[in-house]
Amino acid sequence: MTSKKTLRALWEFVAEPLLAVGLVFISTTAIAQPFYVPSGSMQPTLAIGDALIGSKFPYGYSRWSAPFGLGPASETRLLGKLPKRGDVVIFRKPGELQTTLVKRVIGLPGDRIQMRYGRLYINDAQVPLEPTGIVQAESESGRAQPAMRFTETLPGGVSHPILKLRWGALLDDTPVFTVPAGHLFMMGDNRDNSTDSRVPQAEGGVGYVPVENLMARAEVTIGSYDFLNAHGPATWPGLVRFERFFRTI
């Protein structure tokens, strides 16, 4: 009797924490997961220090939908669905799977992607670009520099902002990339400060991203903190960017 009472008491002690852990595991696997933005490659859409929520279900599920990549490798996804061109997606970096990145989907399987003189071409058609002014872009060192802001409209009608620091940048001219089946072509909105699918994996870039590597679709920023300019306790309260809370992406 004593051992049964001990076991019952032990179960009652651990049941609630186990249930909480189980609910967290299920929700972060099947529904949504928080992520943090440490770099400026997606400015102005995402700022350094943004915290965002990514939804898991829009593209179905792979091993990278689960915490720590639990599960078998597979080229297909459970309930899989391709992203739309223009979606902002969180994914595991090909060839460096411990690294999580966030970029915009530019090319779908079969698309031909090229940069010519800083302009984006999809399937040999130049993507419309409208200038919208000069803004300050923040670097990972905390320094701000002027950048040209444009609105880019992708095939299918999705319009989004991009930044250009200069014309004639390293990735302004590329060969034609033909996106393989089961892969995507990703680019950052901060075009001159993004090592993305324009750079092959062998050169430290992203290359083509297997659909299996998708983790979530970025949905909303839930907070933002300008930690790059935190120079002492007196500055900390003023670095919370309340204007970036609960912004759809």
Quick check: is 56 catalytic?
A: no
* Buried b / exposed e along 116-154 (16+ C-beta atoms within 10 A): eebebebeeeeeeeeeeeeeebbbeeeeeeebbbbebeb
Are 67 and 29 within 8 A, CB to CB? Answer: yes
What is the predicted pLDDT for the residue at 93? 97
Q: 56, 62, 65, 103: which one is catalytic?
A: 103
Q: Give pLDDT tens digits for 118-132.
A: 999 999 999 999 999
Q: Give pLDDT tens digits for 192-240.
A: 999 999 999 999 999 999 999 999 999 999 999 987 777 777 777 778 9
Quick check: is 139 catalytic?
A: no
Residue 191, pLDDT above cutoff 90: yes
Q: 41, 62, 194, 224: which one is catalytic?
A: 41
What are the φ/ψ torsions at residue 224 (nearest 5 degrees)? -165, 140
What is the predicted pLDDT for the residue at 26? 42
What is the predicted pLDDT for the residue at 226? 86
Q: Give pLDDT tens digits for 8-58.
A: 554 454 444 433 333 333 444 445 688 989 899 999 999 999 999 999 989
Count the neighbouring beta carbons within 10 Å of the beta carbon of residue 38: 13
CA-to-CA distance for 46 and 52, rounded, in angstroms? 9
Are 137 and 147 within 8 A, CB to CB? Answer: yes
Mean pLDDT of the 89-101 span? 95
Mean pLDDT of the 54-67 span? 87
Helix (H) or strand (E) holding 138: strand 129-138
What is the predicted pLDDT for the residue at 68? 65
Which is more confident, 76 or 37? 37
Average per-residue pLDDT for the chain: 86
Mean pLDDT of the 167-182 span? 97
Comparing C-alpha atoms, which of 79, 39, 43, 60 is closest to residue 215? 60
Comparing C-alpha atoms, which of 102, 111, 214, 207 is closest to residue 155? 111
Q: How much is the pTM?
A: 0.84
